[in-house]
Structure formats: C-alpha cells, structure tokens
Structure 1
Amino acid sequence: MGKRHEAIGIKQAIRFEWMQKAANLLLAGLDAKTIRQELHEFLADRKGNGSEGERSDQTRTFVVNNLMKIWVSPDSELLPFRDASLAILRDNPSMSLPVHWGMVSAVYPFWLNVARQTGRLLALQDQVTQIQITGRLKEQYGDRQTVSRYTRYVIRSFVAWGVLKDSESKGCYEKATSINITDANAAILIFESALQANPDAKGTLGMLQNNPAFFPFQIPVMSGDFVSQRCERIEVVRYGLDDELLKLKSTCY
C-alpha cells in the first residue's frame, strides 16, 4: 500500500461531468499527455460550481492533477481495478456514477472517509452540517486547517454529483434520492473500492453491505461466494458460523 491512505489530496471540488470527460478520453485511447492537455482546455472556462468563467491556472492544474490521478495514472496496484471500472463504463454507462464514486474513493480514501462520516450522520438525522462532518474527520486526520478546506471541497463535490442537496440553511445538507445499483459488477466494484481504500485491504461482507460511505446507493444483497466468483481480485475467508471476510488478493499490489 502506498501513501494514498494517509493523504488528503483533493484540492478542489470535482464535478461528475469532469470525471466523465477524463474517463471518456481514456476510453477513446488517447495517451496521458494528450488527455492532460485536453482536460486543461476543457476546464479553462469551467468553474467548480458549474458556471462558465475563467479560473486560475493553479486551480485548474489542481483539478487536472486529481482527474489524471484518478483515471489516467493511478497507483500501479489500482490499475486492474481501474481497468475493470472502465469496462463497466463502456458496457453499462447507466452505472457511471457508482463507478466514478468507487474510483475516486480508491485513489483518494479521504473522499470515502468524508462519505462515511456524512452517511453516519444522515443515519441519525435528516440534515448534516459541514461543521459536524469536519469535526469527526479532525478526530482522524488531526485539527489541521487543510482538513476543513478539503472537506468542504469533497462536500461540494457531493452536491455537484447530486447525492447531497443544499438545505435552506447555509452549510447544511440533506440526502438526495438513493441511486439503485442494478449491475452486480458495479456493486462489487463499490465493495472493492472500500477494500482498496482500507490499509488492511479487507472487511466483513456485512460491514461492506452496510457501509455508511455508500449512503448515496441502494446496493443489492450478495453472498461472499458470489463476489469472489465475479471478481478475481477479491477472495472470501469464512470465520465463525456465517461471517464472511472479503480481502484483496496480494497479487493486486
């Protein structure tokens, strides 16, 4: 495992359509240098709130670097996962949002941690505030100013992706309508993203099935055997009477 589990990394809000653009350029067979150039041109007049307008070279570079890291040049151990994600985007584009969610979560586990704290709070109350989410994350990452700023970028990304909604009160959010994952392979990718985001590369099936980080989705119930049979990168280990532990095979690294 690399340093991505400790890193925060997301330095600007990332809109869903920008993720789509990066993946589509990759699916078109373009090389990394060309994709980087295309993304710079694409984002030259697009702001993080979706409006048109010039953005600084620095902020554009932050976003392009994030998009490149997510789709084009992730860490080597993530390449098989990236390729499987691309295959679903190509074959079942209706599942693009959970696929992108899984990819950004694997590359930047901070995204998944923000989602986990958001999901936990939403399980207890109808609305969550940025302050509540940030407070929980500071327990994990320390009371750094960057934690507050980068958490805000991820939350604004959630809103831009349509999985959170702004409420009438500033800095307060509500859950949007859940997205039903109808493709089993897309659901397995979501599970795998959590394993990839975990330094231990493992988790019980029950915890994955009910992971609050997946609050935007309705995930079908699956057995551990089904998951391991459909994904060669995951193995299942049984313990106790009916507990199943999913773990990434060491060949993934």
Structure 2
Amino acid sequence: MGKRHEVIGIKQAIRFEWMQKAANLLLAGLGTKTIRQELHEFLAERKGNGCEGERSEQTRTFVVNNLMKIWVSPDPELLPFRDASLAFLREHPSMALAVHWGMISAVYPFWVNVARQTGRLLALQDQVTQAQIINRLKEQYGDRQTVSRYARFVIRSFVVWGVLKDSEAKGCYEKTAPVNIADINLAILMFESALLATPEAKGALGLLLNNPAFFPFQLPVMTGDLISQRSDRIDVVRYGLDDELLKLKGNQVRDGT
C-alpha cells in the first residue's frame, strides 16, 4: 500500500467552489507559485462555510495545501489522470462536479472510503447519520480521534457539494438526486479514479459500476471492450464466463503480478 492510500490528509472541509478556483487557475496557465499565492488570497477572507470573514492562517494553509495537492501538484503517478481530467473539464465545464469528485478521490482515498460507507448506508436506508458513517470507518482505520474529526470534514464537504443534504435532525443526512453521467469518457475517468484510490489498482467492472462510493452519480452501463477502446491507461482482463477486471497499466510491480 502506497503512502497516498495510508494518509487521511483532509484536515478541513473542502468547498466545491474552491476546487473550481484551483482548477481554473491551472487552466489559465499560471505557475505553481502564483497559484498558491492566488489561493491564499482567495481564501483569506472566506470561512469554511463559504461566507466572508477572517480565517486563521493555519486553517487556510491546510486548505491551500489540499487544493495544491489535488489539482496543481499531485503525486507523479497521478499526473496523466490529472491532465486528462483537466482536459475534460476544459471541454465540459458543466460536468465539473464529477471531475472534481474523481480528482479528489484519486489524491485522497480517504474521501472514497467515507463516500463508500455513506453510499452503502444510503442503499439500505433513506437517511444516514454522521455517527453511523464514522463507526464503519473506525472498523477500517481503528478507533482514532483523527478518523472521527477528519471524517466529519469530508461529510460536511459532501453537504456543501450538494450530494448530501442536512435533515431536520442534527448530524443526519439525506441523499440528493443523483447526477446523470451520460458521457462515456467521463465515466471511464471516474472508474480510473476508483482504481487509483485502490491500493491494488484493480477492480471488477461489475463492482465498479455499482460502487457505493459513486452514490452521487448515475453511471452508464458499459462493456470492458468499450473501456479498452477509449482508455490507454486501463487494461481489461477477462476471467470466468463473463466477468471483466479493470486494471491500471504500469502497476505490475505494485499489485504483485
């Protein structure tokens, strides 16, 4: 398991418009140092709830570091995916929610794990509580205080992104209407993000199509053949009678094959 899959990383709620700002600065062709400075200035008078107001330098630095890590300076192994995501965002700005979801998922797999537990619970019930999500995460990460704290930041991010909504009861949430993903190339990018968030860098196509971590989205049904035709970063391996395994190319050493 690589370091990226071990760290939790998200130390503040990440607002959707902040992700947009980071991506737009990158699309504008600005350099790394300039983007960092612009983000600091942008966030200097914005609180975590999106309202104007002074914000401590430490919390601002946390958020800027997250945004830089997600879009501007991701790990080298994520650069091809980042570049493809950025190119798609440039051509299809209306699908920004799914693109940002994929990018933050690849960089911070903890986001995916919180989403997966949320999606599993929502498949069983109409509402989900913060406590239910955190209890499931503790089974995976252990009963650490940081897990509870950082999970709350991710859950709050889901709410401000509009994929969950607060219910009348405090700490209880409802699912919003899913975003329909009709573009096959975008769906493949989302599959790639899920593979990047998995230490083994592989997964069964059927499970990916029904991945609870994609609970905010309605993905199109597609075949492995179509994916292999459209993506030069994903291998499709057939096993059994009609099962297909998606596997990131260039991960032979990491997954032991």
TM-score interval, normalised by the smaller of the two chains: over 0.9
Post-superposition offset of 1:154: 0.2
Post-superposition offset of 1:18: 0.3
Post-superposition offset of 1:251: 6.7
Name the SS for the 1:148 alignment partner: helix
> What is the aligned partner in structure 2 of residue 186 from structure 1?
186
> What is the aligned partner in structure 2 of residue 14 from structure 1?
14
In the alignment, residue 139 of structure 1 is paired with which amino acid? E
> What is the aligned partner in structure 1 of residue 235 from structure 2?
235
Alpha-carbon distance between aligned partners in 2 of 1:182 and 1:42, rounded to the nearest angstrom = 33
Name the SS for the 2:82 alignment partner: helix
> What is the aligned partner in structure 1 of residue 116 from structure 2?
116
> What is the aligned partner in structure 2 of residue 171 from structure 1?
171
> What is the aligned partner in structure 2 of residue 208 from structure 1?
208
> What is the aligned partner in structure 2 of residue 140 from structure 1?
140
TM-score normalised by L of structure 2: 0.97
Name the SS for the 1:250 alignment partner: coil
> What is the aligned partner in structure 2 of residue 149 from structure 1?
149
Answer yes or no: is the 8 Å Cα contact 2:16–2:161 preserved in 1: yes
TM-score normalised by L of structure 1: 0.98
Alpha-carbon distance between aligned partners in 2 of 1:89 and 1:130, rounded to the nearest angstrom = 31
Alpha-carbon distance between aligned partners in 2 of 1:62 and 1:251, rounded to the nearest angstrom = 31
> What is the aligned partner in structure 2 of residue 61 from structure 1?
61
Q: Deviations over 1:60-93 (max 9, x none)?
A: 0000000000000000000000000000100011
Post-superposition offset of 1:2: 3.1
Name the SS for the 1:241 alignment partner: coil
Runs of 4+ in 1 over 2 A off after TM superposition: none
Alpha-carbon distance between aligned partners in 2 of 1:27 and 1:247, rounded to the nearest angstrom = 29
Alpha-carbon distance between aligned partners in 1 of 2:28 and 2:50, rounded to the nearest angstrom = 24
In the alignment, residue 113 of structure 1 is paired with which amino acid? N
Alpha-carbon distance between aligned partners in 2 of 1:76 and 1:128, rounded to the nearest angstrom = 36
Alpha-carbon distance between aligned partners in 1 of 2:142 and 2:31, rounded to the nearest angstrom = 38
> What is the aligned partner in structure 1 of residue 126 from structure 2?
126
Name the SS for the 2:128 alignment partner: strand
Alpha-carbon distance between aligned partners in 2 of 1:201 and 1:183, rounded to the nearest angstrom = 23
Greater CA drift, 223-232 or 165-174: 223-232
> What is the aligned partner in structure 2 of residue 160 from structure 1?
160
Answer yes or no: is the 8 Å Cα contact 1:204–1:246 preserved in 2: yes
> What is the aligned partner in structure 1 of residue 92 from structure 2?
92
Unmatched 5+ stretches in structure 2:
none
Post-superposition offset of 1:229: 1.1
Alpha-carbon distance between aligned partners in 2 of 1:245 and 1:104, rounded to the nearest angstrom = 23
> What is the aligned partner in structure 1 of residue 31 from structure 2?
31
Q: Deviations over 1:132-156 (max 9, x none)?
A: 0000001111110000000000000
Unmatched 5+ stretches in structure 1:
none
Alpha-carbon distance between aligned partners in 2 of 1:240 and 1:2, rounded to the nearest angstrom = 30
Answer yes or no: is the 8 Å Cα contact 1:179–1:218 preserved in 2: yes
Alpha-carbon distance between aligned partners in 2 of 1:237 and 1:12, rounded to the nearest angstrom = 39
Alpha-carbon distance between aligned partners in 2 of 1:214 and 1:72, rounded to the nearest angstrom = 24
Answer yes or no: is the 8 Å Cα contact 2:165–2:173 preserved in 1: yes
Alpha-carbon distance between aligned partners in 1 of 2:180 and 2:88, rounded to the nearest angstrom = 16
Answer yes or no: is the 8 Å Cα contact 2:224–2:236 preserved in 1: yes
Answer yes or no: is the 8 Å Cα contact 2:201–2:251 preserved in 1: no
Alpha-carbon distance between aligned partners in 2 of 1:172 and 1:83, rounded to the nearest angstrom = 37
In the alignment, residue 225 of structure 1 is paired with which amino acid? D
Answer yes or no: is the 8 Å Cα contact 1:95–1:183 preserved in 2: no
In the alignment, residue 10 of structure 2 is paired with which amino acid? I
Alpha-carbon distance between aligned partners in 2 of 1:225 and 1:83, rounded to the nearest angstrom = 23
Alpha-carbon distance between aligned partners in 2 of 1:51 and 1:166, rounded to the nearest angstrom = 18
